[in-house]
Amino acid sequence: MLETIPLVCKAWRDILKKDQFWQILCSLMFTKRSEVKPTDFPSFKKYFISAFKSQEKRTYLPTLNQVMTLHIGGAGINLGLDFWDILGMEHHNGSDTEYEKRVFFSETIKGTFEPRSLFIDSNDETFSESKQTSIFSRSTSILHNNSTSCIDFWTGYSNVGTSMCSRSMEQMRRWMEKDGKPQAIMLMHSTGGGAGAGVTARILQKIRDQKLGKTISVSIYPHLRYEGNVGFLSNTSVATYNSILAMDYLSQYSDYVFTLDNEKLFSMPAQFWGTRIGDRFDTKILNFIPSHALADIACSLRNEIRSFDLNAFDLFPTLNHLSLSHAPIYPPEQSLEPSVPEITAAACQSTHFLSKCSPNLPWSSAILNFRGHLAPKDVMAAFGYIRSRRLLPTLDWSNGRMLCLMNYERPVYPILNELIYPMRRRVTIVGNNMSAGYLPQELLDHSQPLIKNRAFFHHMLRAGFEEEQLFESVHNIQIIANTYDEALAPSPDEENEGENEGEI
């Protein structure tokens, strides 16, 4: 193009002869180049030609699997803090490549990396105890409305959700203008709270309408049963209604839902460490296992070669709730390092799942994500053992894909010698198990007496409560429960084969 300029205008011929023009051009295009110095060349023109040719031969990084994380509500923020503590240690230990750093982190003008995350809540009380955390060093990381805490879905969806959604979408658009469209948007929240249910539903709906990318919802379902002297572990009286409405929106607007059950999470400390969460509520203990399981998934998401493929899950309409398992989990006095087959067999047990999952029920798809000090032959032997013994049986009428990923990055433990013995290897199982149908059925069973007696309706009337929307969500949840039952029902061919065998 520069060669044709003198043909168009004779005045440009004199301009191109001046070295000052080429100096300005070099300062505009090669400000970050330090390999070639202009003093090594007789003129800026020859420097520009040399630098331009070397830039054409430069190998660029492949398309990044960028991930945005949104932590909404009190439970989502507490889980996000532990999650980013692990990611921060993995980022600062120097093992990340230039590609891996840019998946969860965004590069600033100064050349440093900052987390691509947002912490959203209705008021500032949730952040008061966590202001010293490095993740909150930027003002754009925190979004709150300076209002009273919302406990119901309608307040979070309509009143608080309108302003919070617009502000969060504005920040996400800034990231996309700077780093490009993300591969996935991860949202951590609780379905029992007003902000975790209502604001999340509003943001999910906006992301789907604007087609910003795939969404991964890490949804914490509340503990609705009575637990002795502790009482109901859910801190809101309308947690059942919030969970029903949140599940309805998750099934419609979220692509993948990682299911965490508080009832199961509360029982795991007593089971593995002998620590019972009672009057002293410690979120570090409660979020320890989920944060490490999500960190293993994040480690595979930022891997350039062995990336976590979100398209591997064989999902069906409304059946997007995935189960998670994490192993090994040993107390601090454990001194023996378990082998790969041992941790794989432990991960296939119901005690290691983060929700009330029955691994013996069929799976439509699953991914075994190994991490740490591994030998490929041991991993393949353990994977073959699972397939031969049918520890994770697959549905006969689906593809039944079982994938195996290996990541050689060693796990990190922010809390040492307190909760768990640091292991050199571990495995996380993510899959679509048909036992996830217990969640919609449990919500329906718990909501029927409440709706029949119109319990707590007066708390929600002031926030724009609509009974028709609640009844419609209950109907949709019933359809989801029936879909899981139909998936477990035997096919007509199997029934005919059973009848023929009985006749013989």
Confidence grade of residue 186 (pLDDT, cut at 50, 70, 90): very high
Highest mean predicted confidence (pLDDT) among 62-76, 95-109, 121-135, 482-496: 62-76
Higher pLDDT, 488 or 494: 488
Predicted confidence band of residue 163 (pLDDT cuts 50, 70, 90): confident
What pLDDT sits at residue 282? 64
Q: Alpha carbon of 485 to those of 239, 319, 393, 435, 436: distances in Å? A: 25, 11, 17, 9, 10
Residue 221 is predicted with a pLDDT of 93
- What pLDDT, on the 0 to 100 scale, is given for residue 490? 66
Residue that wins the pLDDT comparison between 494 and 388 = 388
Average pLDDT over every residue of 482-501: 64
**Chain-wide mean pLDDT for the chain?**
77
pLDDT at 232: 41
pLDDT at 249: 94
pLDDT in tens, 447-463: 888 888 888 777 777 66
User: Which strands form 321-327's sheet, in the order they lie side by side?
Assistant: 142-144, 117-121, 67-72, 184-190, 214-221, 256-261, 321-327, 425-433, 363-372, 401-407
Q: Is 225 a residue whose pLDDT tops 70?
A: no
Confidence of residue 501 (pLDDT cuts 50, 70, 90): very low
Q: Kindly report the CA angle at 185 between 180 and 187, in degrees rounded to 5?
A: 150
Percent of the chain scored above 90 by pLDDT?
Answer: 20
Q: What is the pLDDT of residue 284?
A: 72
**Amino acid 365: pLDDT:** 84
How far is residue 300's CA from residue 308's CA, in Å, rounded to a whole number?
5
Predicted confidence (pLDDT) per residue in 9-25, tens digit: 667 677 777 777 777 76
pTM: 0.80
Q: Could you read off the pLDDT of 74-94 as tens digits, one per residue?
A: 889 989 988 988 888 887 655
If you average pLDDT over residues 124-139, what whole number do you get? 59
Tell me the pLDDT tens digit for each residue of 300-337.
887 755 566 666 665 666 678 899 999 888 766 666 78
Strands 113-115 and 256-261: unpaired
Report residue 387's pLDDT band, with 50, 70 and 90 as the boundaries: confident
Q: How confident is the model at residue 399 (pLDDT cuts 50, 70, 90)?
A: low
**pLDDT band of 464, cuts 50, 70, 90:** confident
pLDDT tens digits for range 263-272 = 888 888 777 7
Model confidence pLDDT, tens digit, residues 29-83: 554 444 444 555 667 777 666 665 544 433 333 445 788 999 998 889 989 988 9
Residue 138: per-residue pLDDT = 53
Which tens digits make up the pLDDT trace of 228-259?
A: 434 444 555 688 889 999 999 999 999 889 99
Residue 393: exposed, middle, or buried by beta-carbon count in 10 A (0-12, 13-18, 19+)?
middle
Identify the pLDDT of residue 237. 67
Task: Report CA-CA distances (Å) from 68 to 183, 334, 442.
Answer: 9, 36, 32
Residue 367 has pLDDT above 80, yes or no: yes
Q: What is the DSSP-derived secondary structure letter of residue 353?
A: B
Q: Tell me, what's the pLDDT at 100?
A: 66
pLDDT at 494: 52
Task: For 257-281, give one letter per residue: b (16+ CB within 10 A) or e.
Answer: bbbbbbbbbbbbbeebbeeebeeee
CA 114 to chain centre: 18
From residue 383, how far is each of 16, 198, 322, 341 by CA, in Å?
A: 66, 41, 20, 8
Q: What is the pLDDT of residue 63?
A: 47
Please report the pLDDT score of residue 286 as a whole number: 80
So what's the pLDDT on residue 246? Answer: 93
